[in-house]
Amino acid sequence: MDKAVEALLPSGLSFQEQFKGNHCFGCGADNPQGLKIQSYWMGDGSSVCQFTPEPYHCAAPTHFLNGGIIATVIDCHCICTAMAEAYRRLDREIGKGEPIWFATGGLSLQYLRPVSINAKIVLQARVMAADERKAELRCELLANGKTAVEAKLTAVRVPESWMTEL
């Protein structure tokens, strides 16, 4: 993890470490093959996540990060932020009591510049509006300190049964 970002992160558990039963490829602590992103609240109410790509996360030109991986880390960081915000609005610790789950209702990305596979990647998300059913978020992906992708995400609350029904 980048030392400058690491110095800003709280020493507690990430959002993802507190959610139980999450097998998501991007954010699931229970998926051994996943990306295992970790998101944290910042003092200003935004959330932050650092992602370190592996060489096999490349696009066709091997020196750039794959756009789908970019979309996945943004999607997962925002969804986990929406869930953490829902727990916070209910004045509950993340993962305590009845589980709160959200899914992506909409995601729009604006790729501003290619992202080097070797870049220090930091995602910053903010909940712009939220209620019991959904949340609207904005997210910025910074690569080596420069904005490379801007995103908007709508997170929609789903019932607990959504996690187990086939």
What does DSSP assign to residue 92?
-
pLDDT digits (tens, 9 = 90+) for 24-71: 999 998 999 999 999 999 999 999 999 999 999 999 999 999 999 999
pLDDT in tens, the chain (166 residues): 445 545 455 568 999 999 998 989 999 989 999 999 999 999 999 999 999 999 999 999 999 999 999 999 999 999 999 999 999 999 999 999 999 999 999 999 999 999 999 999 999 999 999 999 999 999 999 999 999 999 999 999 999 888 887 6
Find residue 130's DSSP bridge partners: 135
Q: What CATH number did the domain enclosing 148 receive? A: 3.10.129.10
Q: Rounded distance, CA 143 to CA 124, Å?
A: 11
Instruction: Tell me the one-letter amino acid at 108.
Output: S
Q: Which domain covers residue 159, as residue numbers? A: 3-163
Q: What is the pTM of this model?
A: 0.92
Contact 105, 35 (CB under 8 A): no
Which pLDDT does position 1 carry in this prediction? 43
Count of structural domains, the chain: 1
Q: Rounded distance, CA 67 to CA 59, Å?
A: 7
Which pLDDT does position 34 carry in this prediction? 92
Q: In sequence order, what are the residues at sequence separation of 6 or more whose Cβ sits closer than 8 angstroms to the Cβ of residue 63?
A: 116, 117, 118
Which pLDDT does position 163 carry in this prediction? 82
Which pLDDT does position 11 carry in this prediction? 60
Which pLDDT does position 8 carry in this prediction? 52
Which pLDDT does position 160 carry in this prediction? 87
In angstroms, how far apart are the furthest CA atoms of the chain?
Answer: 46
Instruction: Tell me the one-letter amino acid at 51.
Output: F
Tokens of 43: 């003092």
Which pLDDT does position 90 carry in this prediction? 95
